[in-house]
Chains A and B, each alone.
Chain A
């Protein structure tokens, strides 16, 4: 509405349009360039010998047989890199935390199956793998506790002796007196919720290429990362190279979903080897390595209780969470990122006055857990939304009604949650209403009744949640992390040919940011969308940046784009005013054309650039300024993105397979830059959530071995698993940041597991089955139903 006062020509045109992604022509025609598409001369390949032991001392490494393989360049273990690199330390100001150092190769001890032990370098990946297969490693196996509850015991074998414990993270949030509430509340529901371990499983596996330039003694490192700036900064200290001798580029990146959002030991390794060998060194992880050494997700046990009164008002919540964080604390987020967010977001978008959340992050011999789309909230929302439905069922209340009574209302914003998260005004209530309207909740219930009358197991599930997005410098994205995640910088320049280049530190890996940021620049600068080239994912184009993660790029980079576009526009108009001999206030710019309101005289951006740069004297010499601007944006606080998911599922009576009949998402992401991209993010994230709800589970045996080492056993959702997804965009009030954007790339993964779990529980409610573990596989459902059926029939037997 605030645009209403502007002239028609000045109204934003690109933001809000369904602009086709400018990335797509190259990506869809196979001309995109990923790390593995780069083949510099003299390049060598790395294969990695990984630990087959969950916890063991390395006694001996024998590589003699490997040395005869044709094409072999060298075999390296940690001793070969001593003194050449220092470890990455995922430090934090958190109390009760131990930061496990990250070295490029295991140093004398391995801590999970899949940990990198030996690097084999050869002229081809084939030769490298041939040689790797001939390397023998003798281990002295050590005892270990694979189950986090066992590993948390005081007498458990320690993975990192220096830590003195496997419990390297513990945190509590307390507000009010929850024990008293639980004691006196009319209704208390509880569950032991389990969100199992997942793999982010991006289509492109992690890929790295380091090139050593002898002339400048510098490294150019191409990495399939979504945090190239963070990687640059940590490698700078690990390798002892200043930033101007260390350029980190994330070229096309084939998805991350969080899995490429942390530093990996292999990134240090590849750079160290390139410097050592003075040759380009490439490492491309294969799918087995990806499933056994890329960061993993979730893996929490959540004991949670919700107290409510007879009218369904929430009185208090208690949660005790164990997070299995794997063998290392991940850089830079630390192992606290995921489990601490579980308890800091557990109360969700609801009014919950009394709260006690406790979490322990426990080391076990598995790959480190790290960011995964949704971080923490897929788990916390699963637990909370299940409790909400259990409470509604106990009270005989409609699940939509109990949410309506507890979702924070308009007049309560800004609302500070018990753990201290501040929700700015967002469409919490409106999304619930929009989901019910959009999906026709009344008709869904009628359909369900009909199906139930035929003996079918059909159920309906809600999930309402809010996430904190676009977080500024008030708090670090991960607890206590000493890295600035609160700012982003943009440099926009118009060069002497009139071309407009917009540089950002963020790193798009599928989000279409080259398109959306160009939309913002076009509107704010008044240039043509087609004339803007966005450069990103390159540490050389911004002095500092942390990248694209945590639903921040639209808010932070969008804000930076807005700021620097405005400064640059003022420069352009100042020059144009001199050229046209009118006042700056008389000028407006739109679509690359600057027009004088009074005289109708026009100049193009290109003509202005030509005058400024090429035509000496066109601008008075003491008034001339380069058409460049660099601005940094810090939204300081974050902004809430809220949503309600609503779905209907059917459980097959014979096979226990789950079919999703209907799926609807209502969400508030503030001002929409590109509706097509927003819809795509919702579709993709819901698909990922469907995987978490029904299919995906990383399994480790009690022997510490990975049992899901390929996509035959780790099941990702297929197109045939996906329902049609209805979407309603609700805009409550624009958030108080530049542009009015909220981050929205993660939400679907947060809502879908909870909504599906609630729908399955509703479908099986005649039997009293409550879903507490995801994924809800046919086997799990069979066992739950069989147990309940036996319970019911034995009760009936007792009555007789």
Chain B
């Protein structure tokens, strides 16, 4: 279980990294935390000719408040995302989600952007980025482009990133003050990839739900936004019946897979139950005066 031979470049700037990727002719791979990449290298599932290490590039390791947005740099470790006061204050749902991300050793190295680029259908970052309508900042030979995460995530383990491009940051719009949120995940062991995970955001305007956002993962080829369930609740009062309708909309719109950890039927059941909890929780936070 040793990786195949590769050349190694310790990039000192974003430009340097882009040049190294270009020089690799489409066969380069960025390494930041390496928490998904190293096992894949060791299993020889990926065999890049060049590994471009971005860990020494200054300035990528911070979370910045740019006004309406929070900007998470390419070297921000899970440990920082989990403990950062800006995240805890402005995006509490993400703060909560970080409690479910792997274990300390992985969190100390793994990065938000790296996890997003890996696009695992059962990892938290792609799903949370979808929930929060994040925008991905991508730098390549032609300069920098910004892509909504919905378009960035293409399929399981597949993104829109070109071989000579690098994700330099992810930008998250701060949810409106008073936005209610909920998050629930179930894994067989704490820190494992989820059997199912659901998160929701909702705002209450005079008792009516608006801007309902529901995301899920572990129940499809990719992390998902559940638009049918969102639509079922938009404008509603989040009554038990309305939540139940949304849960059945959710169960109808997902196509979970069966694997060793769980059958499709079980995952469908689980996603619905988690959604029921999460929606109730989000609404209580959004409209605390309304009895649940």
Task: State whether A655 touches B186 (Cβ < 8 A).
Answer: yes
Task: State whether B269 touches A782 (Cβ < 8 A).
Answer: yes
Which parts of B192-215 form the interface with A (CB within 8 Å)? 192-193, 195
Q: Which residues of A contact B270 (CB under 8 A)?
A: 654-655, 778, 782
Task: State whether B273 touches A720 (Cβ < 8 A).
Answer: no
Task: State whether B274 touches A654 (Cβ < 8 A).
Answer: yes
**Nearest residue, chain A, Cβ from B189:** A718
Contact of B4 among A125, A130, A713 (CB under 8 A): A130
Q: Which residues of B contact A244 (CB under 8 A)?
A: none
Which parts of A766-790 form the interface with B (CB within 8 Å)? 777-779, 782-783, 786
For the complex, is B277 an interface residue (Cβ under 8 Å from A)? Answer: yes
Task: State whether B190 touches A657 (Cβ < 8 A).
Answer: no
User: Known interface pairs A715-B188, A720-B189. Does A129 touch B2 (Cβ–Cβ under 8 Å)?
Assistant: yes
For the complex, is B262 an interface residue (Cβ under 8 Å from A)? Answer: yes
For the complex, is B43 an interface residue (Cβ under 8 Å from A)? Answer: yes
Cα–Cα distance between A720 and B192 once the two chains are bound (Å): 12
Cα–Cα distance between A574 and B231 once the two chains are bound (Å): 95
**Nearest residue, chain A, Cβ from B187:** A657
User: Known interface pairs A125-B2, A777-B188, A778-B195. Does A699 touch B260 (Cβ–Cβ under 8 Å)?
Assistant: yes
Query: Counting chain B CB atoms within 10 Å of each CB, which of A288, A782, A786 scores highest?
Result: A782
Q: Which residues of A contact B4 (CB under 8 A)?
A: 130, 133
The contact size tier of chain A is: 20 to 34
Q: Which residues of A contact B1 (CB under 8 A)?
A: 129, 286-288
Q: Which residues of B contact A708 (CB under 8 A)?
A: 260
Task: State whether A778 touches B260 (Cβ < 8 A).
Answer: no
Task: State whether B189 touches A707 (Cβ < 8 A).
Answer: no
Contact of B262 among A287, A717, A721, A778 (CB under 8 A): A778
Task: State whether B186 touches A718 (Cβ < 8 A).
Answer: no
Q: Which residues of B contact A779 (CB under 8 A)?
A: 261-263, 266
Give the number of residues in B that approach A within 8 Å (Cβ atoms): 27
Cα–Cα distance between A710 and B44 once the two chains are bound (Å): 14
Q: Which residues of A contact B2 (CB under 8 A)?
A: 125-126, 129
For the complex, is B177 an interface residue (Cβ under 8 Å from A)? Answer: no
Task: State whether A707 touches B44 (Cβ < 8 A).
Answer: no
Residue interface bits B262-278, CB-to-A below 8 A is 1, else 0: 11011001100110010
Q: Which residues of B contact A717 (CB under 8 A)?
A: 189
**Nearest residue, chain B, Cβ from A654:** B273
Task: State whether B186 touches A133 (Cβ < 8 A).
Answer: no
Task: State whether A778 touches B44 (Cβ < 8 A).
Answer: no
Which parts of A94-149 form the interface with B (CB within 8 Å)? 125-126, 129-130, 133
Cα–Cα distance between A778 and B196 once the two chains are bound (Å): 12
Task: State whether B186 touches A657 (Cβ < 8 A).
Answer: yes
Task: State whether B273 touches A655 (Cβ < 8 A).
Answer: yes
Contact of B266 among A130, A713, A715, A778 (CB under 8 A): A778
Cα–Cα distance between A353 and B44 once the two chains are bound (Å): 58
Task: State whether A288 touches B43 (Cβ < 8 A).
Answer: yes
For the complex, is B5 an interface residue (Cβ under 8 Å from A)? Answer: yes
Cα–Cα distance between A32 and B273 once the two chains are bound (Å): 49
Cα–Cα distance between A397 and B200 once the two chains are bound (Å): 48
Shortest CB-to-CB span from B122 to chain A, Å, is: 10
Q: Which residues of A contact B188 (CB under 8 A)?
A: 657, 695, 715, 777-778
Contact of B190 among A286, A699, A720, A782 (CB under 8 A): A720
Q: Which residues of B contact A695 (CB under 8 A)?
A: 188-189
**Nearest residue, chain A, Cβ from B261:** A779
Task: State whether A654 touches B44 (Cβ < 8 A).
Answer: no
Q: Which residues of A contact B265 (CB under 8 A)?
A: 782-783, 786
Shortest CB-to-CB span from A314 to chain B, Å, is: 36
Shortest CB-to-CB span from B10 to chain A, Å, is: 20
**Nearest residue, chain B, Cβ from A695:** B188
Residue interface bits B168-198, CB-to-A below 8 A is 1, else 0: 0000000000000000001011111101000
| A-B interface, 9 closest residue pairs, ranked by CB to CB distance from nearest | A286-B1, A654-B273, A779-B262, A779-B266, A782-B266, A720-B190, A655-B186, A126-B2, A129-B2
25 contacts between A and B (CB under 8 A): A129-B2, A130-B5, A654-B270, A654-B274, A654-B277, A655-B273, A657-B186, A699-B260, A710-B43, A712-B193, A715-B188, A715-B192, A720-B189, A777-B261, A777-B262, A778-B186, A778-B195, A778-B266, A779-B262, A779-B263, A779-B266, A782-B270, A783-B263, A783-B266, A786-B265
A-B contacts besides A697-B260, A778-B270, 17 pairs, CB < 8 Å: A126-B2, A129-B1, A133-B44, A654-B270, A695-B189, A710-B39, A710-B43, A713-B261, A715-B189, A718-B189, A777-B188, A778-B188, A779-B262, A779-B266, A782-B263, A783-B263, A783-B266
